[in-house]
Chains A and B, each alone.
Chain A
């Protein structure tokens, strides 16, 4: 198909009739060395795609759990170059695709082309920008296509079918569908319209549809995986980091064990 790890991973899963399990953690929470080790243990746990947040001071799409992770990361001195460095280090030891998640100001400040080029060079495969809607994404999409780098676009319950088609037509890799109207964070129940939304959207485009926001653990992940091509879990994992913040050495192991359980549940669907 092509050389991008995201495409290859998703195609392989699809061939085996399996769903993708994607995790999110904030880089540098609580420090970059812990992040590096945690990425290694997520890879070992069977995570298919690793989403790595580059912290931004004003994360408007994130709930309290990720906001606190970002604050810990920034007060620990995390920088964009620092994140690129650890990705470069882990790239040699893992095969999973790595996708950055960050807000547009971080990308814009480095220079859109420079950001994409540097991200690609350190071994990342794609980028998610939650405050960059279709209307503002031309420059990033162009830069990404020059580097065979994937920009993962987001859709939400308020995206109309016509708009979804437009977004799907410029998307490559997969679409990140936000399960609910709201910010990131664990919820007790899944959004009631989600199942219907997904079956409706699946008919509009063949691009893989991965679902995130509000997914709390193995059961919910498996439930969503039945209707989607993949599930994304973030805040639930960051809660484990937060609970072990005084015992940083234990974070990679504990996060890995939690991710293993979800991976097993998702891959059994």
Chain B
């Protein structure tokens, strides 16, 4: 455990990646946040409170489900699903927003802001803000507002204000730009709840730690069930929070392979995808140095994915580090394959996954043939498909 804490270093670097690339105005807020994070979150009272809400409100621990039919279908490794889709609000995002919002209220902040792509982080932030009585503004690209209208309504119902962002591609990247501008303007009374393991230090660390509950539970559950650790962990990667939440507690267990699945969009060669780890270059976006999709001059390119949550041209710096040191392997799955993944899991196991999580599921047909029967694969089912039903319906003929 202590070894794991060495990354990131005091400046927020995971090897070459991470850091704090923000306007001077925010340095004060990040210092304040770092201090609060290192002082408050390790305290007994904070941990107790977070645990209480995770268990009684969000629904933790989530089941680790043995997907027997799927296992039989492929005839290789035993496949388990970590059911984050069963959490309150429908995705793993609530693990992080409860943590950050309890921290925000301890810091005396009265207002929180968030960016959202698919709307899951926005809903999870609005939910926790309602619970703790904080004012909540969520920035969302107009394109995403269109494709995720139900989540927009949910946020409003929860008392949040949804602020449309019509700059750039009108998606997650632009929503994050706008949230950072808001934070610069209202830095004294506002807490910025970032939804992924991205952003300036300490966000990549903080979000990873709040999401690590996923991997810690998996470790206990799989040991109890199988008497050994899993051989493979599989998760989708947009910014990368559910993947790191699953991977990180196994960091020291070198025999456990990590596989992250990026959005292949219309195919890696089409130039229309969200595969920053596979196709990106080192760059600085939204406060940290990581891999990003960019052109020769350093202009950030537009990402594309059928799933709004993976439609992002960057990725968390710790993933870039895992890639560099070869701790994790990163692959991609196209839009069409992801939709096939939704169909497969729905038909085989009676579980309709979110399009994001379907990317992980859709990699199973490629991965399992290379495994042995005694291997154990844990797939993070980061969210459920309710929010995507409209899009899935457009892409599936029944």
A63-B181, A105-B283, A108-B284 known; A79+B297 contact, CB < 8 A: yes
CA A158 – CA B24 in complex, angstroms?
Answer: 8
Q: Is A253 an interface residue (CB 8 A)?
A: no
Q: Mark B283-313, 1 if CB is under 8 A from A, else 0.
A: 1111101001010111110000000000000
Contact B298–A110 (Cβ < 8 Å): yes
Q: A57-B168, A57-B300, A60-B181 are in contact. Are A109 and B25 (CB under 8 A)?
A: no
- Closest B residue by C-beta to A71: B167
In the complex, whether A205 has a CB less than 8 A from a CB of chain B is no
A/B interface sample: 18 pairs, CB < 8 A: A55-B299, A58-B168, A60-B180, A61-B181, A62-B181, A80-B297, A103-B284, A108-B284, A109-B298, A135-B11, A135-B20, A136-B20, A157-B25, A158-B25, A158-B26, A158-B187, A178-B25, A183-B181
Residue pair A158, B29 in contact (C-beta under 8 Å): yes
Which residues in B have their C-beta under 8 angstroms from that of A157?
25
**11 other contacts beyond A59-B177, A104-B21, with CB at 8 A cut-off?**
A58-B168, A61-B184, A106-B298, A108-B282, A130-B24, A156-B23, A158-B24, A158-B29, A159-B27, A163-B27, A183-B181
Chain A contacts of B287 at CB under 8 A?
131
8 Å CB contact of B283 from A71, A109, A178: A109
Across the A-B interface, the 7 shortest Cβ-Cβ residue pairs: A109-B298, A158-B28, A182-B185, A156-B25, A57-B299, A105-B298, A105-B284
Would you give the shortest CB distance from B42 to chain A, in whole angstroms? Answer: 24
Q: Is the CB of A108 within 8 A of B283?
A: yes
Q: How far is the CB of A86 from chain B (nearest CB, A)?
A: 15
Which of these, B20, B168, B286, B297, contacts A106 with CB under 8 Å? B297
With A58-B285, A136-B20, A181-B187: A105-B25 Cβ-Cβ less than 8 Å: no
Q: List B261-282 residues whose CB lies under 8 Å from chain A.
A: 281-282
CA of A134 to CA of B31, assembled, Å: 13
- Minimum C-beta distance from B9 to chain A (A): 12
A142-167 interface (Cβ within 8 A of B): 154-160, 163, 167
User: Which residues does chain A contribute within 8 Å of B168, judged by CB atoms?
Assistant: 57-58
Number of interface residues of B (CB under 8 A): 39
Give the secondary structure class of A's interface.
loop
Q: Is the CB of A58 within 8 A of B187?
A: no
Interface size on A, residues (CB 8 A): 42
Which residues on B are within 8 Å of A, measured CB to CB?
Answer: 11, 19-29, 167-168, 173-174, 177, 180-181, 184-188, 281-287, 289, 292, 294, 296-300
Contact A58/B21 with A160-B28, A181-B188, A183-B184 known, Cβ cut-off 8 Å: no
Q: Which residues of B contact A156 (CB under 8 A)?
A: 23-25
Instruction: State whether A105 touches B294 (Cβ < 8 A).
Output: yes
CA distance A183 to B292 in the complex (A): 24
B-side contacts of A181, CB under 8 Å: 25, 184-188
Tell whether A133 is near chain B: CB-to-CB under 8 Å.
yes
Known contacts A60-B181, A79-B297, A109-B294; A159/B24 CB under 8 A: yes
Q: Are B181 and A108 in contact (CB under 8 A)?
A: no
Instruction: For the complex, give the distance between the alpha carbons of A158 and B28 in Å.
Output: 6
CA distance A178 to B250 in the complex (A): 45
